Amino acid sequence: MSERTEIDCGTGVARTVPLTPEEIAQRTAWGAGRAAERDADAISTTERSAARARVVQVAQGTVGVHLDRLTATQVRALLAVLLWEAGALNGDGTVRSPAQWIRD
Amino acid sequence: MALIASATPTTGTVTFNSIPGVYGALLLLGLGRISPATTGDYVYGQFNNDAGSNYDEWRLVGATGGTAYAQTRARLAEWPGASAPSSAAGSLQMYIPGYATTTLHKTMTMQASARVNTSDLQVRHHAINWRSANAISRIDLTLASGNFVTGTVFYLYGLP
Protein backbone atom coordinates (compact mmCIF):
# COMPACT_ATOMS: atom_id res chain seq x y z
CA MET A 1 0.00 0.00 0.00
CA SER A 2 2.88 2.36 0.69
CA GLU A 3 4.66 1.70 -2.57
CA ARG A 4 3.98 2.04 -6.25
CA THR A 5 5.24 -0.04 -9.17
CA GLU A 6 6.19 2.33 -11.96
CA ILE A 7 6.90 1.20 -15.50
CA ASP A 8 8.58 3.60 -17.89
CA CYS A 9 6.94 2.77 -21.20
CA GLY A 10 9.79 4.39 -23.09
CA THR A 11 12.52 2.25 -21.62
CA GLY A 12 10.55 -0.69 -20.25
CA VAL A 13 12.27 -0.26 -16.91
CA ALA A 14 10.18 -1.06 -13.82
CA ARG A 15 10.94 0.26 -10.37
CA THR A 16 9.26 0.40 -6.99
CA VAL A 17 8.89 3.85 -5.50
CA PRO A 18 7.35 5.03 -2.21
CA LEU A 19 4.02 6.81 -2.34
CA THR A 20 4.08 10.53 -1.71
CA PRO A 21 2.19 11.90 1.31
CA GLU A 22 -0.38 13.30 -1.13
CA GLU A 23 -0.89 9.88 -2.71
CA ILE A 24 -1.27 8.23 0.69
CA ALA A 25 -3.84 10.85 1.76
CA GLN A 26 -5.72 10.37 -1.48
CA ARG A 27 -5.96 6.61 -1.05
CA THR A 28 -7.05 7.00 2.54
CA ALA A 29 -9.86 9.26 1.35
CA TRP A 30 -10.86 6.71 -1.27
CA GLY A 31 -11.06 4.03 1.39
CA ALA A 32 -13.22 6.24 3.60
CA GLY A 33 -15.70 6.80 0.82
CA ARG A 34 -15.78 3.21 -0.31
CA ALA A 35 -18.75 2.13 1.84
CA ALA A 36 -21.03 4.72 0.29
CA GLU A 37 -19.65 3.87 -3.11
CA ARG A 38 -20.38 0.22 -2.62
CA ASP A 39 -23.85 1.03 -1.35
CA ALA A 40 -24.51 2.97 -4.53
CA ASP A 41 -23.22 0.11 -6.62
CA ALA A 42 -25.31 -2.67 -8.04
CA ILE A 43 -26.43 -5.47 -5.76
CA SER A 44 -24.43 -8.68 -5.86
CA THR A 45 -25.43 -11.83 -7.66
CA THR A 46 -26.28 -13.49 -4.35
CA GLU A 47 -28.56 -10.61 -3.42
CA ARG A 48 -30.09 -10.64 -6.88
CA SER A 49 -30.95 -14.32 -6.47
CA ALA A 50 -32.69 -13.60 -3.17
CA ALA A 51 -34.61 -10.67 -4.60
CA ARG A 52 -35.64 -12.65 -7.68
CA ALA A 53 -36.91 -15.54 -5.57
CA ARG A 54 -38.99 -13.12 -3.52
CA VAL A 55 -40.49 -11.48 -6.60
CA VAL A 56 -41.30 -14.83 -8.19
CA GLN A 57 -42.99 -15.93 -4.99
CA VAL A 58 -45.31 -12.92 -4.80
CA ALA A 59 -46.06 -12.95 -8.53
CA GLN A 60 -46.87 -16.65 -8.61
CA GLY A 61 -50.32 -15.96 -7.19
CA THR A 62 -51.33 -13.97 -10.26
CA VAL A 63 -50.90 -16.85 -12.68
CA GLY A 64 -54.12 -17.51 -14.58
CA VAL A 65 -55.93 -14.48 -13.15
CA HIS A 66 -57.67 -12.25 -15.70
CA LEU A 67 -56.59 -8.60 -15.76
CA ASP A 68 -60.07 -7.48 -14.73
CA ARG A 69 -59.97 -9.68 -11.66
CA LEU A 70 -56.55 -8.78 -10.26
CA THR A 71 -56.70 -7.76 -6.62
CA ALA A 72 -54.66 -4.88 -5.23
CA THR A 73 -52.23 -7.36 -3.74
CA GLN A 74 -51.79 -9.08 -7.10
CA VAL A 75 -51.25 -5.76 -8.87
CA ARG A 76 -48.57 -4.98 -6.29
CA ALA A 77 -46.99 -8.35 -6.98
CA LEU A 78 -46.83 -7.62 -10.70
CA LEU A 79 -45.44 -4.15 -10.00
CA ALA A 80 -42.68 -5.89 -8.04
CA VAL A 81 -41.84 -7.84 -11.18
CA LEU A 82 -41.47 -4.62 -13.16
CA LEU A 83 -39.36 -3.05 -10.40
CA TRP A 84 -37.19 -6.13 -10.39
CA GLU A 85 -36.71 -5.95 -14.14
CA ALA A 86 -35.70 -2.30 -13.77
CA GLY A 87 -33.09 -3.15 -11.12
CA ALA A 88 -35.00 -1.15 -8.52
CA LEU A 89 -35.07 -3.70 -5.70
CA ASN A 90 -32.52 -4.60 -3.07
CA GLY A 91 -31.96 -8.17 -1.98
CA ASP A 92 -34.27 -7.65 1.00
CA GLY A 93 -37.14 -6.50 -1.20
CA THR A 94 -36.81 -2.80 -0.41
CA VAL A 95 -36.79 -0.24 -3.21
CA ARG A 96 -33.38 1.20 -4.05
CA SER A 97 -32.64 4.89 -4.42
CA PRO A 98 -33.84 6.09 -7.84
CA ALA A 99 -30.34 7.39 -8.57
CA GLN A 100 -29.17 3.79 -8.50
CA TRP A 101 -31.52 2.44 -11.14
CA ILE A 102 -33.12 5.23 -13.18
CA ARG A 103 -31.14 5.55 -16.36
CA ASP A 104 -29.97 8.89 -17.68
CA MET B 1 -1.27 -4.22 -31.98
CA ALA B 2 1.97 -3.68 -30.08
CA LEU B 3 2.76 -4.44 -26.47
CA ILE B 4 3.91 -1.15 -24.92
CA ALA B 5 4.60 -2.49 -21.43
CA SER B 6 3.53 -5.06 -18.89
CA ALA B 7 3.58 -5.20 -15.11
CA THR B 8 3.36 -7.84 -12.38
CA PRO B 9 2.81 -5.61 -9.34
CA THR B 10 2.75 -6.65 -5.71
CA THR B 11 2.31 -3.05 -4.58
CA GLY B 12 -0.96 -1.12 -4.17
CA THR B 13 -0.45 1.00 -7.27
CA VAL B 14 0.92 0.32 -10.71
CA THR B 15 1.88 3.21 -12.98
CA PHE B 16 2.39 3.13 -16.72
CA ASN B 17 4.46 6.25 -17.29
CA SER B 18 5.83 7.98 -20.39
CA ILE B 19 3.27 6.29 -22.64
CA PRO B 20 4.29 7.06 -26.21
CA GLY B 21 1.72 9.06 -28.16
CA VAL B 22 2.26 7.27 -31.44
CA TYR B 23 -0.76 4.96 -31.48
CA GLY B 24 -4.40 5.47 -32.35
CA ALA B 25 -5.72 3.82 -29.20
CA LEU B 26 -4.67 2.07 -26.02
CA LEU B 27 -5.88 -1.29 -24.78
CA LEU B 28 -5.24 -2.06 -21.14
CA LEU B 29 -5.72 -5.65 -19.99
CA GLY B 30 -5.44 -6.98 -16.47
CA LEU B 31 -5.95 -10.14 -14.47
CA GLY B 32 -5.44 -10.21 -10.76
CA ARG B 33 -6.38 -10.39 -7.15
CA ILE B 34 -5.86 -8.11 -4.15
CA SER B 35 -4.69 -8.58 -0.57
CA PRO B 36 -7.32 -6.92 1.71
CA ALA B 37 -9.38 -9.28 3.87
CA THR B 38 -12.56 -8.74 1.91
CA THR B 39 -14.43 -10.64 -0.77
CA GLY B 40 -13.79 -7.85 -3.24
CA ASP B 41 -12.69 -4.27 -3.59
CA TYR B 42 -12.28 -1.69 -6.30
CA VAL B 43 -9.42 -1.02 -8.64
CA TYR B 44 -9.31 2.69 -9.45
CA GLY B 45 -7.71 4.50 -12.35
CA GLN B 46 -6.31 7.97 -12.96
CA PHE B 47 -4.75 9.64 -15.98
CA ASN B 48 -1.70 11.87 -15.96
CA ASN B 49 -1.77 11.87 -12.13
CA ASP B 50 -4.88 14.07 -12.27
CA ALA B 51 -6.62 13.97 -8.87
CA GLY B 52 -9.16 16.66 -9.74
CA SER B 53 -12.91 16.02 -9.97
CA ASN B 54 -12.64 15.23 -13.64
CA TYR B 55 -13.85 11.65 -13.95
CA ASP B 56 -17.37 10.55 -14.89
CA GLU B 57 -18.76 7.04 -14.71
CA TRP B 58 -21.78 5.24 -16.10
CA ARG B 59 -21.83 1.65 -14.98
CA LEU B 60 -23.79 -1.47 -15.62
CA VAL B 61 -23.13 -4.19 -13.07
CA GLY B 62 -25.00 -7.33 -13.91
CA ALA B 63 -28.42 -5.98 -14.87
CA THR B 64 -28.29 -2.82 -12.78
CA GLY B 65 -26.93 0.57 -13.74
CA GLY B 66 -25.79 3.71 -11.99
CA THR B 67 -23.82 6.89 -12.47
CA ALA B 68 -21.16 8.90 -10.67
CA TYR B 69 -19.99 12.24 -11.98
CA ALA B 70 -17.11 14.59 -11.15
CA GLN B 71 -15.15 11.93 -9.28
CA THR B 72 -11.48 12.28 -8.37
CA ARG B 73 -10.71 8.93 -10.04
CA ALA B 74 -12.36 6.43 -12.28
CA ARG B 75 -13.68 3.32 -10.61
CA LEU B 76 -12.79 0.32 -12.71
CA ALA B 77 -13.12 -3.30 -11.69
CA GLU B 78 -14.00 -4.97 -8.41
CA TRP B 79 -11.40 -7.64 -7.84
CA PRO B 80 -11.45 -10.49 -5.31
CA GLY B 81 -9.65 -10.07 -2.00
CA ALA B 82 -8.32 -12.48 0.59
CA SER B 83 -11.84 -13.57 1.64
CA ALA B 84 -12.83 -14.57 -1.88
CA PRO B 85 -12.58 -18.19 -3.03
CA SER B 86 -9.01 -19.46 -3.27
CA SER B 87 -7.25 -18.41 -6.47
CA ALA B 88 -10.33 -16.55 -7.72
CA ALA B 89 -9.36 -13.64 -9.93
CA GLY B 90 -10.77 -10.56 -11.58
CA SER B 91 -10.11 -9.19 -15.01
CA LEU B 92 -10.45 -5.87 -16.75
CA GLN B 93 -10.04 -4.52 -20.23
CA MET B 94 -10.16 -0.84 -21.05
CA TYR B 95 -10.19 0.60 -24.56
CA ILE B 96 -9.04 4.21 -24.91
CA PRO B 97 -9.39 5.59 -28.43
CA GLY B 98 -7.67 8.84 -29.39
CA TYR B 99 -5.64 8.88 -26.17
CA ALA B 100 -2.89 10.98 -27.77
CA THR B 101 -5.16 13.65 -29.20
CA THR B 102 -5.24 17.10 -27.62
CA THR B 103 -8.52 18.65 -28.77
CA LEU B 104 -11.34 16.69 -27.12
CA HIS B 105 -11.93 15.13 -23.74
CA LYS B 106 -11.23 11.40 -23.49
CA THR B 107 -14.08 8.94 -23.26
CA MET B 108 -13.65 5.20 -23.12
CA THR B 109 -15.19 1.86 -22.21
CA MET B 110 -14.15 -0.72 -19.62
CA GLN B 111 -15.35 -4.27 -19.13
CA ALA B 112 -14.50 -6.37 -16.12
CA SER B 113 -15.35 -9.68 -14.56
CA ALA B 114 -14.63 -11.17 -11.17
CA ARG B 115 -15.55 -14.05 -8.95
CA VAL B 116 -15.78 -12.53 -5.48
CA ASN B 117 -17.91 -15.20 -3.85
CA THR B 118 -18.51 -18.88 -4.49
CA SER B 119 -21.78 -18.06 -6.24
CA ASP B 120 -21.08 -14.52 -7.32
CA LEU B 121 -19.53 -14.04 -10.74
CA GLN B 122 -19.78 -10.39 -11.65
CA VAL B 123 -19.63 -8.61 -14.96
CA ARG B 124 -19.20 -4.86 -15.29
CA HIS B 125 -19.51 -2.50 -18.19
CA HIS B 126 -18.39 1.06 -17.58
CA ALA B 127 -18.35 4.18 -19.70
CA ILE B 128 -15.64 6.45 -18.39
CA ASN B 129 -15.05 10.07 -19.25
CA TRP B 130 -11.98 12.10 -18.37
CA ARG B 131 -12.64 15.82 -18.60
CA SER B 132 -9.32 16.69 -20.15
CA ALA B 133 -8.09 17.31 -23.66
CA ASN B 134 -4.54 16.43 -22.68
CA ALA B 135 -2.91 13.43 -24.29
CA ILE B 136 -2.78 10.51 -21.89
CA SER B 137 0.84 9.82 -21.04
CA ARG B 138 0.37 8.16 -17.68
CA ILE B 139 -2.10 5.66 -16.26
CA ASP B 140 -2.25 4.75 -12.57
CA LEU B 141 -4.14 1.69 -11.35
CA THR B 142 -4.63 1.93 -7.62
CA LEU B 143 -6.27 0.21 -4.67
CA ALA B 144 -7.74 2.13 -1.75
CA SER B 145 -6.01 -0.33 0.58
CA GLY B 146 -3.73 -3.34 0.38
CA ASN B 147 -1.74 -4.56 -2.59
CA PHE B 148 -2.09 -6.52 -5.76
CA VAL B 149 -0.97 -10.06 -5.07
CA THR B 150 1.44 -12.34 -6.87
CA GLY B 151 -0.05 -13.56 -10.12
CA THR B 152 -1.51 -10.16 -11.01
CA VAL B 153 -0.59 -9.01 -14.50
CA PHE B 154 -1.31 -5.90 -16.54
CA TYR B 155 -0.60 -5.41 -20.22
CA LEU B 156 -0.73 -2.09 -22.06
CA TYR B 157 -1.07 -2.35 -25.83
CA GLY B 158 -0.99 0.28 -28.53
CA LEU B 159 -3.36 -0.07 -31.47
CA PRO B 160 -2.70 1.52 -34.87
What ipTM goes with this model? 0.84
Helix H or strand E encompassing A84: helix A72-85
Query: Of the candidates B7, B20, B156, which has its C-beta nearest A10's C-beta?
Result: B20
Spatial neighbors of A87 by CB under 8 A, at least 6 apart, are A42, A96, A100, A101, B63, B64, B65
Task: Kindly report, residue by residue over B27-80, the tens digit of the pLDDT.
Answer: 999 999 999 998 888 999 999 999 999 999 998 887 777 788 999 999 999 999
Please tell me the distance in Å from A78's CA to the nearest CA on chain B. 19
CA–CA separation, B34 vs B11, rounded Å? 10
The widest CA-to-CA distance across chain A, in whole angstroms, is 74
CA B26 to chain centre: 12
Q: Give residue A54's pLDDT.
A: 77
Q: What is the pTM of this model?
A: 0.77
pLDDT band at A33 (very low <50, low <70, confident <90, very high): confident
Answer yes or no: are the C-beta atoms of B156 and B6 closer than 8 Å.
yes
CA A72 to chain centre: 29
Does B150 reach chain A within 8 Å, measured CB to CB?
no
Does A37 reach chain B within 8 Å, measured CB to CB?
yes
pLDDT band at A73 (very low <50, low <70, confident <90, very high): confident
DSSP state of B27: E
Does B104 reach chain A within 8 Å, measured CB to CB?
no
Answer yes or no: are the C-beta atoms of B159 and B25 closer than 8 Å.
yes
Q: Give residue A66's pLDDT.
A: 92
Q: Which residues of A16-44 are buried (b: 16+ CB within 10 A; e: fewer)?
A: eeebeeebeebbeebbeebeeeeeebbbb
Which residues of chain B from 20 to 59 reach within 8 Å of chain A, CB to CB?
Answer: 20, 41-42, 44, 51, 58-59
